[in-house]
Amino acid sequence: MENEKLVCKACGQDTFTIGQVGGTTSQGNIRPIGAIMAVGSPLQMTFCKNCGEVASFKVVKPQNFK
């Protein structure tokens, strides 16, 4: 997604940034279903700086789900 020019489908602007939910602690991390004790992975979101519309979600550490 880094190589393509994003245009917000909600407002038409083209200024995006990346934010993250979760991190070094497991709070906010996505976890495998049924694995309460798993650390999981943070989620990164690319979103429009103008209106907040989310263009993409990315699991930062997909290897934690194998």
| The predicted structure's pLDDT at residue 4 | 75
Query: Are 64 and 40 in contact, with CB atoms under 8 Å apart?
Result: yes
CB atoms within 10 A of CB 26: 15
Q: Could you tell me if 20 and 45 are in contact, meaning their C-beta atoms sit under 8 angstroms apart?
A: yes
The per-residue pLDDT for range 2-58, each reduced to its tens digit, is 557 999 999 999 999 999 998 877 788 999 998 878 888 999 999 999 999 999 999
pTM: 0.78
